[in-house]
Amino acid sequence: MAMAAKKPKSVARTIRPVAEPAGRSAAARKTRPSNPAAKPRAKPGKSARAPSKAHETAARKAVIATALLMSRTALSPGRSGNVSCRWREGMLITPTGMAYEELQPSDVAYVAANGAYNREGRKPSSEWRFHLSAYHARPEIGAVVHTHSLHATVLACAHRPIPAFHYMIAIAGGTDIPLIPYAPFGTQELAQLVRGSLADRSALLMANHGQIAVGNDLAAALELAREVEVLAEQYYKVLTLGKPKLLGAEAMADVLERFKGYGQNAQSRGNLSK
């Protein structure tokens, strides 16, 4: 896999309402990308202004920076995977078939809420349909990261969802990280499956494909994708020892309740994990 000459800029972290799991990989502790997609807030008594061109350029750069981090931390090899953030009434998404280290802000594609995009510009990722379906599913979702991370993909290819073998499964918003059935990439069928599963989860596995993670911004979505890969690796290794000892429904309900109030930013985070 080709490596870029420059490393994407880092910014201050946002705090998420979960504890760091034991054995977390070094890649999962790397600097998080910026949050460019948030629209400017209006001052009291004034209406919100439309995002400026500079703000749009910053959002495009952050999509690229997130894709580079995804690749450099081995979450998705080569040109696999894709990244998007909500923008205006649609989204900004990585283009199809281009190496991340070669991307310029103008290469990031804008796709409108109805799926329309500029046919004379860069074509959006072939997976733009399921990215758009995620934004339609839940208005609080601000970014989507899709990866072919090693262990998550291994489990997806074995058609194994990740059950409550560890309390950190709750980071995805429920008692498991579900697996959706196989559907060809880039299809509306796959988009519908993704939309249905994201109704009550913030991460999922895609049979014979990979994983998807969402967040209220790019940094949160990428971090959740890293956490899913860590959990997938842990579960894969537990399976080599025999049948996992799973947490029960009552224990997981307690964990989910505790997560609601955990962390300094718990109340303002938007509670993407339901």
Residue 10 lies in a domain: no
Q: Which of 214, 181, 204 is nearest to 83 (CA)?
A: 214
The contacts of residue 144 (CB under 8 Å, 6+ apart) are: 83, 84, 85, 91, 131, 134, 135, 212, 213, 214, 221
Distance CA 259, CA 14 (A): 16
Rounded Cα–Cα distance for residues 252 and 232 (Å): 18
Q: Which amino acid is located at 243 in the chain?
A: K
Instruction: Say how far residue 73 (Cα) sits from the centre of its chain.
Output: 14
pLDDT in tens, 156-189: 999 999 999 999 999 999 999 999 999 999 999 9
CATH number at residue 73: 3.40.225.10
pLDDT digits (tens, 9 = 90+) for 56-96: 999 999 999 999 999 999 998 888 999 999 999 999 999 99
Write out pLDDT tens, residues 120-146: 999 999 999 999 999 999 999 999 999
Answer yes or no: is 230 within a domain: yes
Residue 32 counted as domain residue: no
Residue 207 resides in a domain: yes
**Upper half-sphere CA count for residue 36 (Cβ side, 13 Å):** 25
Per-residue pLDDT reduced to its tens digit, 226-249? 999 999 999 999 999 999 999 999
pLDDT at 36: 53
The pLDDT, as a whole number, for residue 16 is: 39
Q: Note whether residue 95 is domain-resident.
A: yes
Residue 27 resides in a domain: no
What is the rounded distance in angstroms from the CA atom of residue 161 to the CA atom of residue 165?
A: 11
Residue 155 falls within a domain, yes or no? yes
Residue 195 lies in a domain: yes
pLDDT score recorded for residue 42: 44
- How far is C-alpha 21 from the chain's CA centre? 18
Q: Provide the number of structural domains found in the chain.
A: 1
Could you list the active site residues? 127
pLDDT more than 70, % of the chain? 77
pLDDT at position 78, please? 85
* Res 148 pLDDT > 90: yes
Please name the residue that has the structure tokens 């054995």. 23
- 52 pLDDT band, cuts 50/70/90, is confident
User: Nearest 5 degrees, angle CA 215-CA 216-CA 217?
Assistant: 90
- Lowest-confidence segment of 31-40, 64-73, 184-193, 209-218 by average pLDDT: 31-40
Question: Does the structure show a pLDDT above 70 at 38?
Answer: no
> For the whole model, what pTM was predicted?
0.80
pLDDT confidence of residue 4: 41
Domain that holds residue 250: 51-260
